Amino acid sequence: MIRIRDVIVPERHSEEDLRFHAAQRLKLRASDIAAVKIFRRSLDARKKPELFWVYTLDVSLRSGEGALLRRCRDPKISRAESFRYEIPQKQSDTRPVVVGFGPAGMFAALVLALAGLKPIVLERGEPAPERRKKVEAFWAGGALDPESNVQFGEGGAGTFSDGKLNTGTKNERCRWVLEQFVRAGAQKEILYDAKPHVGTDVLFTVVQNLRQRILSLGGEVRFGAKLTELAQENGHLTGAAYMQNGEMHTLACDHLLLAVGHSARDTFRLLHETGIPMEPKAFSIGARIEHRQETVDLAQYGKARGALPPADYKLSCHLTDGSSAYTFCMCPGGYVVAAASQSGGIVTNGMSCAARDGENANAALLVTVKPEAFPYPGALGGMLWQEEIEHRAFLAAGHTYRAPAQTVGDFLAHRPSQETGAVTPSYRPGVTLCDLHDVLPEVLTRTMEQAIPTLDGALSGFAAPQAVLTAPETRSSSPVRIVRDDDRQSALRGLYPCGEGAGYAGGIMSAAVDGMLCAEAILQAL
């Protein structure tokens, strides 16, 4: 098979057009081509309103592939190489334990199960269907369940998100992860889209199918199971205790992969008290910024969207005072969602369905804060600051989970919002209009005030007065790092800190890959 990079075609084209352009690049007739498969595609909008699709195509010829490759001098034409992920079969006297069933824990468990080790997964939250009911009830104004919510439960925080699968992680395992998602029910387009996404509605099916596959291989998933203790002897892990249905249980284990996610604050406290080496880590805080999707489409495409996908953006700026801001987790046609996991605190996040057909677009507008700026000392200093900001928002909302919100125009003018305009906030259970300067620390608002007009230069309409800020966004990444060695083990041997919660990943894909790498480390240790 031959791989052809940078095949450029007009916005509107057919499959036959791809065959024609591939034949042109190969200097062949279209009839010489047996099959064309898309390996990658992206949309080039740099010359808007004239738009182009850029493809990498894998082409099979009816004959003569080797001869063509030998004589070809085009550096963008080569033999199509594929990554083959092989998992060795292993045996162990004790079953490995995985704590947490987000992307890191899920893919770690899958690798361990494929290796024949029958892992035991402990997940404090509920299976996806029950979890969704709890979350929907909370969004409708009901009570928050601290153990089963947007952060905790089958699939982790990513289940209630846009389901983005693009990543800066340059690792061949990413392709294998995408293939497993497709096998579990995700759209085949994620295999080749430059910015793949699944959507929260599809993810609910995907995570359940991945769980069933792990079970079919002899693995076990125990829901409502919260880690409470790590047993050790002479610096080596010997077991773990967990609470389930009000009863304490113990497990003997030599290898425990810890993939608890970035919001497991009680677990962070447990590890700290146990003496597991931890350190504070830089993270980001800010608010969700919400525009009409049509505003983003016009800015990015230079015209009405038509048949094109809802436009997205990724922005950043470095300011003259040395601070910086950026957008994160942009959700085209999405919704701002209540993502609290702790009573008395407000957390916002973004989510969209596979169709991305909501009226609004939203993204986190974030400011990076470093440990030296934390008002609290020690390894848990950033976490304590998160808690303080989230509680401050809860108080500003009248001791409710209605998130504080303000229009961009009012935010820049330092006046409390009295009403919204063209952009209707999508956050449920609703917003409380106020002045976000009373909610967010000055170190954040000062940078956000400078960043918004600056970013408008890159995306026209970003600073539109009617755009809405909903706060706070505090859970973009973990505020701690659980220290591990080159073999991915903690100083407590047999403990493998993993994924976002441990401070080694930042998104579904990077977390999944880190889970695989930690599982491989366990296989190597056996």
Question: pLDDT tens across 282-299, in order?
Answer: 999 999 999 999 999 999
Supply the pTM of this predicted model: 0.95
CA–CA separation, 113 vs 90, rounded Å?
Answer: 10
The partner residues of 335 in beta bridges, in order of sequence, read 351
- Are residues 238 and 252 in contact, defined by beta-carbon separation less than 8 angstroms? yes
**What pairing do the DSSP bridges indicate for beta strands 52-61 and 33-44?**
antiparallel
What is the pLDDT, as a whole number, of residue 83? 86
Question: pLDDT tens across 440-474, in order?
Answer: 999 999 999 999 999 999 999 999 999 999 999 99
CA–CA separation, 435 vs 452, rounded Å?
Answer: 16
Question: pLDDT tens across 494-510, in order?
Answer: 999 999 999 999 999 99
Please compute the mean of the pLDDT values over residues 205-234 and round it to a whole number: 98
Residue 56 has pLDDT above 90, yes or no: yes
Question: pLDDT tens across 64-115, in order?
Answer: 999 999 999 999 999 998 889 999 999 999 999 999 999 999 999 999 999 9
- Are residues 332 and 296 in contact, defined by beta-carbon separation less than 8 angstroms? yes
CA–CA separation, 427 vs 439, rounded Å?
Answer: 17
Nearest to 497 by CA among 240, 243, 173, 261: 261
Question: pLDDT tens across 33-50, in order?
Answer: 999 999 999 999 998 889
Question: pLDDT tens across 317-376, in order?
Answer: 999 998 999 999 999 999 999 999 999 999 999 999 999 999 999 999 999 999 999 999
SS3 of 283, please? strand
What is the pLDDT, as a whole number, of residue 307? 86
Q: Who wins on pLDDT, 48 or 220?
A: 220
What is the pLDDT, as a whole number, of residue 306? 84
33-44: strand order across its sheet: 33-44, 52-61, 2-10, 77-79
Of all residues in the chain, what percent carry a pLDDT higher than 90? Answer: 96
Structural domains of the chain ordered from first start? 2-79 (3.30.70.2700), 97-278+482-525 (3.50.50.60), 282-473 (no CATH)
What is the pLDDT, as a whole number, of residue 168? 82
What is the pLDDT, as a whole number, of residue 90? 95
Query: SS3 string of 79-117?
Result: ECCCCCCCCCCCCCCCCCEEECCCHHHHHHHHHHHHCCC
